[in-house]
Amino acid sequence: MLEHISKILATEKLLDYLASGIGATAGPIFRPWQAYMEGHAKRISARADADALAIIAEAQADARQYLIAPGADVQGAVEITHENIMQRIEFQERKRLANIRSVVESAAEELGEKEVVDHEPDHDWTARFFDCVQDVSSEHMQKLWAKVLSGEVESPGRTSLRTLDTLRNMTKRDAELFDEFAGYVIGGKFVFNDDHFVQRLGAMKPKYLLHLQDCGLVIIAPFLRWTGTFGDGERSFFLYQGGALLIEKEKGASDKLEIPIVSLTAAGKELFQIVQGSVQKAYLQDFATFLQNRGCQLYLVDEVVNLPEGGFNYTSCELIEPRPIQSGMPTL
């Protein structure tokens, strides 16, 4: 007997993630009927924080009386009142709620009318996620976080806690650099990165690759290789920018192929799933030149369709012509 799998609207499950992650603050955003009790609890907490800060401010004022000489000019001193502290706390909370609202609304747009299998959110994950996004004000970064959230709602466990911490430490510039890098990623795992290739054009400048390594997104090491073994006429298949790359071995070439690479870290692989790159033809031409010198050809295929019995099909297949070697340039 087949087990019944319950499905619900993804946006309904999104609300469960919201309630799991921020508890009391979920009410004022999406559930007004909970606002009174949850808002009351928040006011008690905020007042306690305010009282603590007021005590500190009073102690600082007392200290100034002992430290400032009689008759000294203290016009630059700032008076801290209980009202000032409450306004500051309320401003910060409003800003954080606005950030969370923006991320959740973007995630809802990503999910649309999709359905997901009903499941219990990972409460440790949601706590970490909303703790991160409450202080994210950049629209670009909010969109990225929204994709992480929608992806987790659709496929629990898709993004690890370690990856959340990696993303939390990334700036808008870091994210834009990774977006650019995504256009060169092959198979969701690596980038072709031969030394001579870098000397000619380079998928990305070495300093940018090093920066992505500092961000915890890639691994750069001279010994990193993708290695494949296949016979005459056989092909290796790699997903690439919504299509795929096919490497075909020519007759008489070595059965073993080694490709120097920059590898994505676990966090890099997870974040790669939510960014959008574009086909880099010049990059593929240099890759084709590298492969040609090793008895292989490179093809770019579009609209890959997985077949029920296994394997795949595609609608078009384009041979990538190697880039002509210019005079004075190193060969691959």
The 10s digit of each residue's pLDDT in 90-132 is 878 889 899 999 999 999 999 999 999 999 999 999 999 999 9
Q: Is the dihedral of CA 285, 291, 297, 298 positive or negative?
A: negative
Confidence of residue 62 (pLDDT cuts 50, 70, 90): low
CA distance 262 to 246: 19
Task: Tell which residue, 201, 135, 120, 194, has the closest CA to residue 168.
Answer: 135
Whether the per-residue pLDDT at 197 is higher than 70: the answer is: no
Whether the per-residue pLDDT at 84 is higher than 60: the answer is: yes
Report pLDDT for 277: 85
Q: What is the mean pLDDT of the chain?
A: 81
Contact 259, 192 (CB under 8 A): yes
Confidence of residue 21 (pLDDT cuts 50, 70, 90): confident
Report pLDDT for 70: 55
Q: Alpha carbon of 284 to those of 67, 145, 196, 208, 320: distances in Å?
A: 69, 30, 15, 19, 7
Beta 190-192 vs 256-264: how paired, if at all?
A: antiparallel
Contacts of 134 (CB under 8 A, 6+ apart): 22, 96, 97, 99, 100
Q: Mean pLDDT check: name the lowest of 35-39, 63-67, 69-73, 242-246.
A: 35-39
pTM, two decimal places? 0.77
CA distance 33 to 22: 16
> Which residue is listed with tokens 């970490």?
128
CA distance 295 to 321: 14
Whether the per-residue pLDDT at 198 is higher than 70: the answer is: no
Report pLDDT for 325: 62
Report pLDDT for 150: 96
Contacts of 222 (CB under 8 A, 6+ apart): none
- Residue type for position 114: K
